[in-house]
């Protein structure tokens, strides 16, 4: 599988990411994450970026668990811990 290099900006921070995804897909992810972050930032303008990003992560994970539950797959597989999951991205 071919690896692609992407320069993206998340929460006003620049990153270089290497993964097998397409540029179009990565732009959609970047836009979705930043939209969630900016939505929280607009509600809580004095909040630190770290707290905003953590709230955005919690909100996105909540959506993911609900989506997994809706299709019948377990939202929390037995014996699985989030810290043990591997990222599909090679480099941050």
> For residue 38, is it within any domain?
yes
Please name which of 27, 36, 24 lies closest in space to residue 9, comparing C-alpha atoms. Answer: 27
State whether residue 91 is helix, strand or coil: strand
**In a domain? residue 59:** yes
Residue 54 lies in a domain: yes
Residues of the domain holding 59: 4-70
DSSP state of 43: H
Domain count, the chain: 1
CA distance 86 to 60: 17
50 domain residue, yes or no: yes
Domain-located, residue 83 = no
Q: What string of pLDDT tens digits covers the 92 residues of the chain?
A: 789 999 999 999 999 999 999 999 999 999 999 999 999 999 999 999 999 999 999 999 999 999 888 876 666 655 444 444 444 445 44
How much is the pLDDT for 74? 62
- 48 domain-assigned: yes
């Amino acid at each position: 599988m071919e690896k692609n290099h992407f320069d993206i900006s998340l929460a006003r921070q620049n990153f270089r990411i290497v993964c097998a995804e397409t540029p179009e897909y990565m732009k959609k992810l970047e836009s979705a994450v930043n939209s969630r972050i900016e939505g929280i930032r607009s509600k809580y303008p004095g909040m630190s970026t770290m707290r905003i990003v953590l709230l955005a992560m919690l909100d996105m994970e909540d959506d993911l668990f609900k989506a997994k539950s809706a299709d019948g797959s377990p939202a929390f597989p037995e014996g699985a811990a989030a810290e043990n999951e591997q990222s599909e991205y090679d480099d941050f």
